[in-house]
Amino acid sequence: MSALLPPFVNPSDHPAAEPELLQLEQPGDEPCLRADAARNRARLLDAAARLVAEHGAAGVTMEAVAVEANVGKGTVFRRFGDRTGLLNALLDHSAHKFQAAFLSGPAPLGPGAPPVERLHAFGHALLRTTLDHMDLQLAAEPAADRRFAVGAGRFLHSHVVMLLRQCAPDADHVLLAHALMGYLSPPFVNHMVRQCGEPLERLEAGWSDLVDRVTRAAPVTGVAGRPANPV
């Protein structure tokens, strides 16, 4: 989406691109998309969703979606580009709900709370959303050369940059936001929860502790007054 900031560009240099004023591109927002093309896209996504429900994300291939939707494989490739594009389209609905929550929903996730409180709420909400869609999130994880260029990820990063600019004015907001977003990445959450068996509550507490330390809002004594317990 052209309005989104490219990676490593400081949003403070682009006040008109304040993340709170942006909208992620809606799945059907192509201005010249014909009605029949929109219906075909919806039919393909319905087919992909059925495959996820029946076989998990691993069962979603371009060929399987084409068979399920009774269309040619080329139609699926033209619509979504590749499997990652298809899986990301499936995640769009959840992404837009989350976007609406932090753009215009109630505080503290939405506007109206102090920026540190919003950072706390943002991380907790994104952790829960990631866990709810973990298999799909992992399957849609971009390749290394695309990881920081995917629209939704760039948008979330820009939102964190904006909040950091408000509560940690002396920081390198762009790089620090990348570091914080790494904590919320699907591979890390999957490792901690599924492979290490850690409860979501520990990740939420760790996020709050990290935000407080980064924004100098709390002493470095660990979460809730106890020493950190590294994995």
Query: Does residue 119 lie in a domain region?
Result: yes
- Return d(Cα 155, Cα 5) in angstroms, integer: 8
Regarding whether 62 and 143 lie in a shared domain, the answer is: no
CATH number of the domain bearing residue 66: 1.10.10
Regarding whether 142 and 108 lie in a shared domain, the answer is: yes
Regarding whether 168 and 65 lie in a shared domain, the answer is: no
CATH number of the domain bearing residue 219: 1.10.357
CB atoms closer than 10 angstroms to residue 79: 18
Count of the separate structural domains present in the chain: 2
Q: What is the pTM of this model?
A: 0.67
**Is 228 a residue whose pLDDT tops 50?**
no
Range of the structural domain that residue 207 is part of: 91-231
Regarding whether 143 and 190 lie in a shared domain, the answer is: yes
pLDDT tens digits for 18-73?
Answer: 444 444 444 444 444 577 777 888 889 888 888 887 888 888 899 999 999 999 99
- Return d(Cα 218, Cα 8) in angstroms, integer: 28
Which of 15, 49, 81 is at the close of a domain? Answer: 81
